[in-house]
Amino acid sequence: MSSQSELPPLVRLWILRLLMTLSVHKKFIGERGFNDDTLAEALALGSWIDSEARAFDPNAVRAELRKQHQAAERQAARCTAAPCLHNNIRRLKELVGLSEIDCRILEFAVLIHTERVLDDLADELGSLSTVKMLHVFVGNWRAGNPRGLEFPRDSRAGRIGIRRSQLDRDAAG
């Protein structure tokens, strides 16, 4: 990947949320460069990689990421999953009675296992705790973003959980 235009908007939004909301940017941005040049390229930060025109400035990179994150959140309501994923989740919602929250969690779980850059970034988190993920989902809802959701008292959220180690074992065989 060489530009942000190649990154699906919903994947880009999740990457920026993980980087900024869960402070993964602290691992991604080093004093002398990036921990993951592929991710930097995907986020249109390639001009900071091995640049002879300017010295690497972690503070400037963080500021640029903050701006990208804010812009992505403003556009979040228009970010949708690929039509095939969206339709499959909609069918599952109808078949088994998933809530909107369950749908967003399932959408994220699928994306994290189908989008290499997002998967690699999530690996930096280690175990994705429920509390951390709730912070990302609920925090964005409270900020007025419909792609982040509040968990109502009568919600059946939790029917779908994200346990990367279990998913990885299931995928392995």
- Contact criterion met (CB below 8 Å) for 89 and 81: yes
Return the top range by mean pLDDT from 52-61, 89-98, 135-144. 89-98
Q: Say if CB 92 and CB 149 are below 8 A apart.
A: no
Tell me if 20 sits within 8 A of 66, measured CB to CB: yes
Backbone angles phi, psi at 79, to 5 degrees: -80, 120
39-73 CB burial, b ≥16 within 10 A, e <16: bbbbbbbbebeeeeeeebebeebbebbeebbeebb
Tens-digit pLDDT profile for residues 120-160: 888 877 655 556 666 665 555 444 444 444 444 444 444 44
Residue with the bigger pLDDT between 98 and 155: it is 98
- The domains of the chain are located at 4-78, 83-172
Is the pLDDT at 59 greater than 60? The verdict is yes
Note the pLDDT of residue 58: 93
> Rounded to an integer, what distance in angstroms lies between the CA atom of residue 112 and that of residue 16?
13
